[in-house]
Each structure stands twice: as structure tokens, then as C-alpha cells.
Chain A
Amino acid sequence: MSVIQVNGLSKHFGTLKAVDHLDFSVTEGEVFGFLGQNGSGKSTTIRMLLSLIHPTSGSIELFGKPLNKYRDEILEEVGAIIERPDLYPYLTAKEHLQLFAKLRNKHVGENSIQDTLVKVGLADRSKDKVQTFSLGMKQRLGIAIALLHNPSLIILDEPTNGLDPQGISDIRNLIKQLAQQEGKTVLVSSHLLSEIEQMATQIMIIHKGKKVADGPIQKLLDPNKMIVHIKTTNDAQTLQIILSGSFSNYLLQRNDGIYLRLPDYEIPLLNTSLVNAGVGLIGVETRNSLEDYFLQVTSNTI
């Protein structure tokens, strides 16, 4: 079942097309990585999913219901943090949770509040005012507010901002646990591509408001399409060999070295061709990370 179904979604700010005819769906229980460069339209899309921004056109359905008609009912089942963890500096962590618990129609008792504080690692700072919190602690409290009412859909925009490596690892494990053990659907955007790679089951990449790639992460990072960086003693000769043979189709246009995108079984053949031609091979570096893929689809080079 699709928890999020977006069709033809657009948002224009004057002449700027922040989001341009976006289509995607997120299935129940999946961790959906939402990627894009700064200003690519990620936050605008997330804000439209939370009805903070009115779309220019297109439709959003959450839990099979149109958001514009069933907003209040839908948001009861959604928990979110959006970009920065902005909170009330004069209130304590516990007071924040108590206030937001009151704004939910579901009953959220003191035990749930305490459990949530433990879950995000803030139990021992629950009575401290937020103005004394570090950015990472505010981020944890923001996540606590999102999880407090036990929502079915969790939307996290840059949830690891400001967190230290331990905090990042904790949040990654928490997100995995929410999806795998509790069956929650999680849409997460992050600049930390390695984090998304470790937790997401599906990803979507947008660039200048348009979708440029989506699908299961294993499929997108196909081992048959390795990126290979070749370092030789004679780059000009190497290029000549590649261009004159069957490897020419795999060559990527880059100025900082010789790069090819080719199946892993082709690598030994290329190696042999170069050695047979007398090219001194310094090294063959293979890469197949989400970062490479992301850079490739958002800049047309790797």
C-alpha cells in the first residue's frame, strides 16, 4: 500500500519553479531516502507533504486520502521535523513534549513522554530549558516531538544535522528500528549520502525541482555499472586505446582523470588491453557509492 502518493506536484515562487511536476510514491514500512542538492526543492516538497506550503498544481495523497481534504485526519498519523530543530527556548524538553502531546487527539501519557525521552537519549536533560541545549540535543528533541504520538508516517528533513558521530549512528539505528521492528514508513532527507545508503530501501533524487532518479537502492547502485578510475603512465595513449575499441561507450566525460562506467566483468579485459599495448598501469580504482551516483545524476558527470 502506498502511504505517500504524489502526482504532478509543482510549486512556483514567481517565475522560479521550486518543484516541477514531481511524481513519486512511498510504500508502507519502507525507509525512503529523499536526496537533492541545496535548493533542489526537497524542503519545499516536504513542506507540501505537511501542508505548510500550498502546491501550485498536482495532488498529494497520504494513506490513500487527498491531503487537501483530509489534512487534520492525516496529520494525526504523521510526525515530522523540518530542517532546523526550532523550539521554544524558555521551555524545558519535557514541557515541549507535554505541550505537543496535548495537540494530539491520541492520548499520550506521561509514560510515553518519558519513553520517548529515553529513546532519543534526553531523559537526563528533560528538566533543562532548551536554551541550554546544543544543536544536536535540539535535534534529538525535535525527533522526540515527531515520534511522541506514535505516528505511522515519519518525515525527517535533515534529522542528523548537528549531531556528533555517535548521535548520527543512534538516529540511523532508530530509523532502521522504526521501519523494521515497528513497521513505520519513514521519509528521510539528508546531505549525508552514506547515511542514506545505510538506511534507505528506496531513494529518489531531485534536481532543480525535477526527479532525476528513483528506485530501490540496490538497483540504482548496480554492481554491473561500476565507476572505474584508471591511473596510467600515459593518459593520452590510454584514451586512444579506449576510444578506438569497444570501451569507448563506457567513457565518462571528466577533466580530472580517466573514468569509465562499465560492468565489473569488463575490468580485467580493459586491464589486459592496456598492459598488452604497453601502457604502464599505476592503478585501477573502482567506486560504486551513492555519492558517485548522486553526483552523476545531478551534474551529468560522476
Chain B
Amino acid sequence: MKAIISIELYKIFRRPRTYIAFGAIAALIMVIQLGLKMDGQSYASFLMKDINDTLTVDGKVLNGYLICYILLQLLLVHVPLLVALIAADMISGEANLGTLRLLFTTPYSRTQLVMGKFIAASIYTIVLLIWLAFLALFVSMWIFGTDDLFLLKSNYVVLIQEKDVLWRYVGAFVFASFALLTVTSLGFLMSSMANNSIGPIVGTMSAIVFFTILSTLNIPLFAAIKPYLFTTHMNNWKEFFDIKVNENNEAIYGTILNVAKIKNSIIVLTLHIILFVTASVIITKRKDILS
């Protein structure tokens, strides 16, 4: 299995396509960081305009932590599409190239080969997420400095102390890894059903868009299925930044408002990963390699 994973990783990182995602993330983050560095105060004033009359905020509102939060809000919706570029190509791309039959005549079972490919695709996803974290969090901290994290929610304000922030980001990125691995496994499932890359890539992206719409639409008909859709849970990394308050409405250091929601989301996402990967293995095992 180790040999399969190392070979699959080698193939992934020798392909020019792999670096599109890294380049796209770097370009997007740098553009946003540059914009906020040049004209960040106007943006901060715009954000605070509704509460300036009732609240006085000292310190650097536009610090590295807030920039990272803004970046994650913008990017974690789009990163799945970049993940799909690689994951949805893992089996179908080889079927299209004709190299799948070379792999499937080696003395490894199809289950081993499929699992090796999935693990390699997952490692790619995690590396992409680490790249995102490095640029969005650490580079932002370096450029904008750090201070307390001030977040404006829909009908309340969250203020998290500077020293209480970093671990929340670690949690948020770990959570995001489950969300992106779900996308990886979905792309992988699509990949196992096709003999060319375009269909699975477009299929994965379409499925994400479709289920995201279902998750966000407030139509009673869809309310019953919403809790079971992976897209409902993918954005729950934000729960790490909702904090418990005491009777004086003061934030309680080191707490999360709704831990159960995070746990539930992780369970749902994990079940989706298991379901998608198991289906991929079964489909690939039964498949006749005709390409």
C-alpha cells in the first residue's frame, strides 16, 4: 500500500494541472491581502458603520486573524472545485489515458489500488489546505499583525481575545479537512464511474452546487433532507468562532457555543466519506477494464 501511495503522489505532483489549484489559491489570497493592505481602513469602516454609534472599538480591527476569517469565508466555497480537478481525475483520467490497465495488471488488488489512489488524493487535499492555511493565516498575521478577533454576525458581535484565537483556526482547518475530504471522496466516486475526466470533474462541481442550493434554500420540502446533505455541514467551521457568554454577556475564554453541532457535522461528513469511498471500491472492483 505504501508503494501505491508514493507512486500516486509522485504522479499527482508531476502533473502541471496539480499546480493550478496552488497557483489559484495563492493569486486569490494575494489579491485580497493586497487590496486590504492598500485600502483596508475603508473596508473596516464599511463593516463597522452600523455599530459605530453604539460601540467603540479600540485596537486593530483589521488584523491577520480577521483577514484569515474573511479569506476562509470567500475561499472555502471555491476550494472544493479545485479539489475536484484532481480527485475526479484519479481513476477516470487513467482510464482515459489507458494506463489503468497497466496498473490493474500489477500484483495489487483493485481494492488496494483504489484505496492507495484515494489516500494520495486525500494527501493532495490536505496539502492544498495547509497551503491555504499558510497563506491565509500566517502570511496575513505577518502582514497585518495580530489583535483580538472582532466578528460581526447577523444579529450580534463576537469578540475573541487574541490569545484565544489561534487554536480555533487549528480546529477550523481540521474541520475544513473533513469537508474537503468529503468533496475528494465524491470526486473519487464520480471518477470510478467514468472513462474520461471531464464528466466526473463537471459532475462533482455540479453536485456540490446542486446540494449547496438545496442546503441554503429555506423551502419546507427540503427541510427534512437538509441535515443529511454534506453541503449543509461543510461551512460549520465557523462554529469554532462562536463563543459562550456568561450572565453579563461576556465571552468565556476557550469555549465554543455549539460543540454538538461541530461533532454532528464531522459525523455526517465522515459517513459521507465512508459511503463514497466504499461505493468507489465496489464499482471499480466490478468494472470491466475495456478502455
Q: In the complex where A86-B97, A88-B99 touch, is A73 in contact with B107 (Cβ < 8 A)?
A: yes
Query: Which residues of B are found within 8 Å of A105, using beta-carbon distances?
Result: 107
The reply to whether B104 and A145 form a contact with Cβ atoms under 8 Å apart is no
A227 to B284, CA, bound (A): 50
B288 partner residues in chain A, CB cutoff 8 A? 47, 52-54
Whether B216 is near chain A, meaning CB under 8 Å from some CB there, is no
Q: What string of 1s and 0s marks CB contacts (under 8 Å) between A56-93 and chain B?
A: 00000000000000011111101010101011111100
Interchain CB contact under 8 A, B10 and A99: yes
Complex contacts, A50 vs chain B, CB 8 Å: 101, 104-105
Cβ-defined contact, B97 with A75, below 8 A: no
Could you mark each residue 87-123 of chain A with 1 if its beta carbon is under 8 Å from any beta carbon of chain B, else 0?
1111100010001101111000000000000000000
Name A36-64 residues within 8 Å CB distance of B. 47, 50-54
Residue B224, interface by CB 8 Å: no
Contact A103 B99 (CB under 8 A): no
**Among B6, B7, B101, B105, which residue has its beta carbon within 8 angstroms of that of A75?**
B105
The contact string, 1 if C-beta is below 8 Å from chain A, for chain B 248-291, is 00000000000000000000000000000000000000101110
Q: How far is the CA of A51 from the CA of B109 in the complex (A)?
A: 10
B227 interfacial contact with A, CB 8 Å: no
When C-beta atoms are compared, the residue in chain A nearest to B109 turns out to be A72
Q: Within 8 Å CB of B6, what residues of A?
A: 102
- Number of A residues, CB within 8 Å of B: 30
How far apart are B29's CB and chain A's nearest CB, in angstroms?
27
> Known interface pairs A52-B289, A100-B102, A102-B3. Does A88 touch B97 (Cβ–Cβ under 8 Å)?
yes
A100 to B4, CA, bound (A): 10
- Please, how many angstroms separate the alpha-carbon atoms of A299 and B179 in the complex? 60
Give the docked Cα–Cα distance between A36 and B289 (Å). 21
Contacts of B107 in A (CB 8 A): 71-76, 103-105
**In this assembly, does B106 line the interface, its C-beta being within 8 Å of a C-beta of chain A?**
yes
Contacts of B106 in A (CB 8 A): 75, 100, 103-104
Q: Mark B96-126, 1 if CB is under 8 A from A, else 0.
A: 0111011111111100000000000000000
Number of interface residues of B (CB under 8 A): 25
CB distance from B272 to the nearest CB of A (A): 29
Assuming A53-B288, A91-B14, A103-B106, is B101 touching A82 (CB within 8 A)? Answer: yes
In the bound complex, residues from chain B placing their C-beta under 8 Å from that of A88 are 11, 14, 97, 99
Task: Tell me if A's interface is mostly helix, strand, loop or mixed.
Answer: loop
Indicate if the CB atoms of B98 and A86 lie closer than 8 Å: yes
Are B14 and A78 neighbours in the complex by a CB distance under 8 Å? no
Indicate if B153 sits at the interface (CB-CB under 8 A). no
The smallest C-beta distance from A12 to any residue of chain B, in angstroms, reads: 11
With A84-B98, A103-B7 known as contacts, the answer to whether A53 contacts B289 (CB < 8 A) is yes
- What's the Cα separation between A145 and B286 when bound, in Å? 26
The answer to whether B102 touches A86, judged by C-beta atoms less than 8 angstroms apart, is: yes
A1 to B124 CA separation, bound complex (whole angstroms): 48
The verdict on B49 contacting chain A, using a C-beta distance below 8 Å, is no
Q: How far is the CB of B248 from chain A (nearest CB, A)?
A: 62
* C-alpha spacing A76/B109, complex, angstroms: 12
Residues in B neighbouring A53, C-beta threshold 8 A: 288-290
Partner of B99, one of A52, A76, A87: A87
Chain A contacts of B99 at CB under 8 A? 86-88
- Chain A residues lying within 8 Å of B15, measured Cβ to Cβ, are 90
Within 8 Å CB of A99, what residues of B?
A: 7, 10-11
Closest to B6 in A: A102
Q: In angstroms, how far is the closest chain B Cβ from the Cβ of A127? A: 14
30 CB contacts below 8 A, A to B, read: A47-B288, A50-B101, A51-B105, A52-B288, A53-B288, A53-B289, A54-B288, A72-B108, A72-B109, A75-B106, A75-B107, A84-B98, A86-B99, A87-B97, A89-B97, A90-B15, A91-B11, A91-B14, A95-B14, A99-B7, A99-B10, A99-B11, A100-B102, A100-B106, A102-B7, A103-B7, A103-B103, A103-B108, A104-B107, A145-B102
Q: Apart from A72-B107, A78-B105, what 9 extra A-B contacts exist at CB < 8 Å?
A: A50-B104, A53-B288, A75-B105, A75-B106, A86-B97, A90-B14, A90-B15, A103-B106, A145-B102
Residues of B near any A CB (own CB < 8 A): 3-4, 6-7, 10-11, 14-16, 97-99, 101-109, 286, 288-290
